[in-house]
Chain A
């Protein structure tokens, strides 16, 4: 057993704990904070079913972004859908036997990897090339893109340039899930890939990556447009009625 195996075992336990606890904390915080006024951006659906459909369009198709800017939409959607396929493809390293649908999407997951990298490249180029976007970019915005692109490139390189023993990798992660430590193959590309993923998990709940849970709590998108039909009062505002 190498020192790296211990290191990555501890790293992934820690990263998973921070990711889960941090995300639960933030989601609970969003959910707990009241929304005292109805502020959906109209025209908005008038029923809960309509809101679910609107939210689906936002999350799956990036509808508002599509209305806004086709370049950002194209690169952003390519990246996110690629990431989604790649994540789904990676489920095979955490399941035994591998689920049927995960088998099925394996080849698409590879295309997803390229789409992800291309989308990220496009988004990053905009941060340099467009005056407006350059103005609003912080160093962390660049680092975030570097991190994600690093994950995509190291991942793809293990498929196409320098193979690693993927069976051993799977054994390592299945072991982690059963609290039995197994050796991790010695492979610099793999080390880098895993380290970057762990960093991503750790910063997720304390960075702009919170847009992922955030959109579901965004009152301009998740409220039904029915203020004249139903009275909407937050607890702290309801107290004013009895004064």
Chain B
């Protein structure tokens, strides 16, 4: 089904809210996971041929999630349809499809919630906008819950803090539980378990890549920078998105991490087992997968006996690491249960566990252990794009908002020409790049457009470089 033509938002001095274009995105659907992919990670292979069975399973799963997650329950009950979120989602701004307005995306599920779990919905469905769960509704869930990048921009603006990402996750979890998975995410989860990272790079390939890097860096700088793998007794275990191992320009990040550790004289290692910071278990809202994927890091840390765990640049990965690892795996501090103490007594309490690579770098800069020739960057004008999940779902440093300051401080420490983007597109208001959350749509880059606008005023001829703390943002913005 092809809806109206999708156009990128017009380039305007002052952006306007688009007109509604119903169903413009109804035809854009993620690939459905094959039976093999589904079964590999323990989900039902496909939808039951008897609709009633699928229907009952989905409603039962919804009931289970409502009992397990307070957020979901409160969010289902609390929305008043005020409209505050309607113009906040990049998917809506970019496409005009009303079902991409956060409230309408939630309403896809809330309408079903009302029908089966509330009295008014059972008695007067049309009055309160409740509807039965049908195959069409389930298809609609699949289409539109995979058009959300779980970036949480809407949750900043909701007067009750309703977070569409939580609803999206629940929707995907219900879909998986009835055998209606998304190919991209579920295939990747299979690879993580089988090989150790999202891209499916086996140990020997990693080793080879890292050796090649050492040679390249030696050639370029003359320094013996090491990129170690599976080194027992190293101080730092670095966990980074696997794109850093081979994709351009991500590999520059990995080269940079190595240079930082080299210059600071910190012994570090990567791990074959934990060669992936990304956690697609979060994207599909499945607690077991979220935990299982995170456990690889705990196991690698215990095996290698490291004192610190540092995470490379990836927005959603940093959320999983920062906000969830302590809960899921005990990577953190302050626990009093044997499971967590086993790991926490090994980790160095003088450092935040886990630390973001930017926290590590900024600490070293402050201590004067890294030196830069700022003028080498004088031909560049640099801005910073706040990655969604770093900005709105985590923190860096030891005060709220450190996640905004630390990366900017680093940029300013290495370059002279830093410019800020439009105030409505930075810090917690930042627009999502469109790449994360398991959809990898790279459709928006709205903040980029706004940046171009504001930068054009300041710099008639410029060559901007955008710095970001997220592998996906780098892809999308490029």
Q: Report the Cα distance A44→B77, complex, angstroms.
A: 23
Q: In whole angstroms, what is the CA distance A42 to B395 when docked?
A: 7
Do A41 and B392 have beta carbons less than 8 Å apart? yes
Q: How far, in whole Å, are A178 and B45 apart by their CA atoms in the complex? A: 64
The reply to whether A227 and B332 form a contact with Cβ atoms under 8 Å apart is yes
Closest Cβ of chain B to A180, distance in Å, is 33
In contact, A208 and B78 (Cβ under 8 angstroms): yes
User: With A and B bound together, what is the CA distance between A102 and B86 in angstroms?
Assistant: 40
Digit string of A47-76 for contact with B (CB within 8 Å is 1, else 0)?
000000000001000101101110010001
List the B residue with the shortest CB-CB distance to A227.
B323
Q: Per a CB cutoff under 8 Å, which of B78, B163, B395 touches A215?
A: B78
User: Once the chains are docked, how many angstroms separate the CA of A236 from the CA of B394?
Assistant: 24
B77–A210 touching, CB < 8 Å: yes
What residue of chain B has the Cβ atom nearest to residue A131's Cβ?
B20
Judged by a CB distance under 8 angstroms, whether B366 is at the interface is no
**Contact in complex: A38, B160 (CB < 8 Å):** no
Give which listed residue, A35, A210, A236, contacts B71 with CB less than 8 A. Answer: A35
A240 at interface, CB cutoff 8 A:
yes
What are the residues of chain B within 8 A of A35 when measuring CB–CB? 69-71
Please, which residue of chain B has its CB at the minimum distance from the CB of A226?
B334
Given the contacts A26-B77, A140-B128, A229 and B334 also touching, CB distance less than 8 Å: yes
A65 to B157 Cα, complex, angstroms: 6
| Any B CB within 8 A of the CB of A124 | no
Selected contact of B332 from candidates A69, A130, A231, A237, CB within 8 Å:
A231
Which chain A residues border B101 with CB–CB below 8 Å? 132, 135-136
* Complex alpha-carbon distance, A30 and B88, angstroms: 28
What residue in chain B is nearest A143 (Cβ atoms)? B127
Point out the residue from B87, B120, B326, B333 that lies within 8 Å of A132, measured CB to CB.
B87
A133 on the B face (CB < 8 A): yes
A133 to B80, CA, bound (A): 11
The answer to whether A41 and B127 have CB atoms under 8 Å apart is no
State the CA gap A133–B104 with chains docked (Å).
10
Q: Which residue of A lies closest to B391 (CB)?
A: A42
Q: Does B383 contact A (CB under 8 A)?
A: no
Flag B93-135 by CB within 8 Å of A: 1 or 0 each. 0000010010110010000000000111000001111000000
Contact partner of A228 (CB less than 8 A), chosen from B68, B155, B326, is: B326
**Contact assessment for A218 and B78 in the assembled complex, using a CB-CB cutoff below 8 Å:** yes
Q: Given A41-B161, A232-B326, decide whether A33 and B103 contact each other with a Cβ distance below 8 A.
A: no
**A contact patch SS:** helix
B339 at the interface (CB under 8 A from A): yes
Contact of A208 among B70, B81, B327 (CB under 8 A): B81
Note all chain B residues with C-beta closer than 8 A to A143.
127
Q: Which residues of chain A come closer than 8 Å to B127, judged between CB atoms?
A: 138-140, 143
Distance in angstroms from B401 CB to nearest chain A CB is: 4
B384 interfacial by beta-carbon distance below 8 Å: no
What is the CB-to-nearest-CB distance from A80 to chain B, in angstroms, rounded to a whole number? 10
Please report which residues of chain B, range 275-334, place their CB below 8 angstroms from some CB of chain A when the two chains form the complex. Answer: 287, 291, 322-327, 330, 332-334
A132 with B86: CB separation less than 8 A: yes
- Expressed in whole angstroms, the minimum distance between the Cβ of B355 and any Cβ of chain A is 9
Say if the beta carbon of A221 comes within 8 Å of chain B.
yes
The reply on A24 being an interface residue by CB < 8 A is no
The residue on B at minimum CB distance from A132 is B86
Please name all residues of chain A whose beta carbon is closer than 8 Å to the beta carbon of B54 when the two chains form the complex: none
Given A43-B403, A62-B159, A206-B120, A231–B323 Cβ distance below 8 Å? no
A45 contacts the other chain (CB 8 A): yes
Q: Could you say which residues of chain B place their CB within 8 Å of the CB of A133?
A: 81, 83, 86
**Contact yes or no, A69 B83, CB < 8 A:** yes
Q: Write out the residue numbers on chain A whose beta carbons fall within 8 Å of the beta carbon of B88.
A: 68
Whether B83 lies near A136 (C-beta < 8 A) is yes
Residues of A within 8 A of B391 (CB): 42
Chain A CB count within 10 A is highest, among B20, B119, B159, B326, for B159
CA distance A23 to B4 in the complex (A): 45
The listed residue (A38, A130, A210, A217) touching B70 by CB distance below 8 A is A217
CA distance A34 to B84 in the complex (A): 27
| Contact B161 A215, beta carbon cutoff 8 Å | yes
- Using a CB–CB distance below 8 Å, which chain A residues touch chain B? 26, 29-30, 33-39, 41-46, 58, 62, 64-65, 67-69, 72, 76, 123, 126, 130-133, 135-141, 143, 203, 206-208, 210-211, 214-215, 217-221, 225, 227-234, 236-238, 240-242
* Interface pairs (27), CB distance under 8 Å: A30-B74, A36-B68, A36-B69, A36-B287, A37-B323, A42-B394, A42-B428, A43-B404, A46-B400, A58-B159, A62-B159, A67-B156, A68-B84, A68-B159, A137-B81, A138-B128, A206-B119, A208-B79, A211-B77, A214-B160, A218-B74, A219-B74, A228-B354, A229-B332, A230-B334, A231-B336, A233-B337
